[in-house]
Amino acid sequence: MGTIYNITYLPPEKPLKGDLRQQLTKLFEQANQSMSTYHNTSEISKFNQSSSTESITISADLRKVVVEGIRLHQLTSGSLDITLKPLSALWGFGPEGRPHMIPSDEALTEVRKFVGVDKLTINGNQMAKKHPSLKVDLNTIGKGYVVDLVAELLESHTINNYMVEIGGEMRLKGHNGFGSLWRVGVIKPDSNERKAKQEIYPGDNAVATSGDYYQYFEQDGQRFSHIIDPVTGKPINHNLASVTVIHPSSMTADGLSTGLLVMGEKKGLEFAEKHHIATYMIIRKGDRFVSKMSTAFNTYLSKEK
């Protein structure tokens, strides 16, 4: 899926059931074949390449991720949208690279005709597009889903002390090799230094962070993030730099962190409080960063639970 992974675990009490590395390799291969846009022959790539509006049969993995993407789209009132791939490409955040100029309003209007979860249907293991140019990109929740799959595989081997990380999305359980709870650092969104802004103790949960500081470009003194607002069709334009979410599911945390980032500081924090989501936000204030968090996040600031 275009990224790297790290898995750390303490040996289980019982012997492993088979070769764990081989099982992980098989798991990753199946995930890539199902939902990776980096593989032209994957299920999702074939769906995107087709202009047919006929239903196709999809795998259980792909269905789970698409269904969750649709659910989170509805929950966030459209802030998370798994059909933004054409808009991302228009702004130069796809394989095609940067455009020579900022897209015109006319170009945005044209592309937005075939963007939107309302143009995607799923019924059982059947999926179809209502517009032939619709494309689905699961990068906002796909990595999180694979993190969950890895965690489930480890637990099937009675491995109950682990840390799984794929492209920055994490899931943790138990304790580390020193007998302490896993400790995670939320990175300060500064491209000049990688320093922890906040240390947290997630317990047996997943952690996902979305930020606007890794992929962006600047033109005429203006900064354009790779995070696209589905409402405007343009990169987000506010001071919220990153959002971290703690949730039992890495897939859900992955999607929520992006959705909250799109909402912005005020709306995002209100949403987190309303739905009891553990959220930590880092906001730009001139040349410095300040942080805010939801009530549910406070419990993860200390190892004392």
Rounded percentage of the chain residues whose pLDDT exceeds 90: 69
Given the candidates 3.10.520.10, 1.10.10.60, 3.40.50.1240, 3.40.50.2000, the CATH classification of the domain at 169-300 is: 3.10.520.10
Strand partners, 9: 162
Q: What is the CATH number of domain 39-129?
A: 1.10.3980.10
Flag whether pLDDT at 61 surpasses 60.
yes
Report the mean per-residue pLDDT for the chain.
90
What pLDDT band is residue 214 in, cutting at 50, 70 and 90? low
- E strand or H helix at 156: helix 142-156
Flag whether pLDDT at 217 surpasses 60.
no
Are 176 and 163 within 8 A, CB to CB?
yes
Q: Is 28 helix (H, G, I), strand (E, B) or coil?
A: helix
Task: Show the tokens assigned to 80.
Answer: 């998370």
Which of residues 245 and 213 earns the better pLDDT score? 245
Dist CA 238 CA 195 (whole Å): 23
Each residue's pLDDT tens digit, 246-276: 999 999 999 999 999 999 999 999 999 999 9
Dist CA 40 CA 279 (whole Å): 35
- What SS3 string covers 170-236? EEEECECCCCCECCEEEECCECCECCEEEEECCCCCEEEEEECCCCEEEECCEEEECCEECCCCEEC
pTM over 0.85: yes
Nearest to 157 by CA among 13, 27, 61: 13
For residue 97, the model assigns a pLDDT of 55
Which of residues 16 and 1 earns the better pLDDT score? 16
What pLDDT band is residue 101 in, cutting at 50, 70 and 90? low
Radius of gyration of the chain from its Cα atoms, rounded to whole angstroms: 20
What pLDDT band is residue 233 in, cutting at 50, 70 and 90? confident
Domain with CATH 1.10.3980.10 in the chain: 39-129
Each residue's pLDDT tens digit, 18-36: 899 999 999 999 999 999 9
Phi, psi at 194, each rounded to 5°:
-105, 95
Flag whether pLDDT at 100 surpasses 80.
no
Domain with CATH 3.10.520.10 in the chain: 169-300
Dist CA 98 CA 62 (whole Å): 30
Dist CA 162 CA 154 (whole Å): 8
What pLDDT band is residue 228 in, cutting at 50, 70 and 90? confident
Flag whether pLDDT at 189 surpasses 80.
no
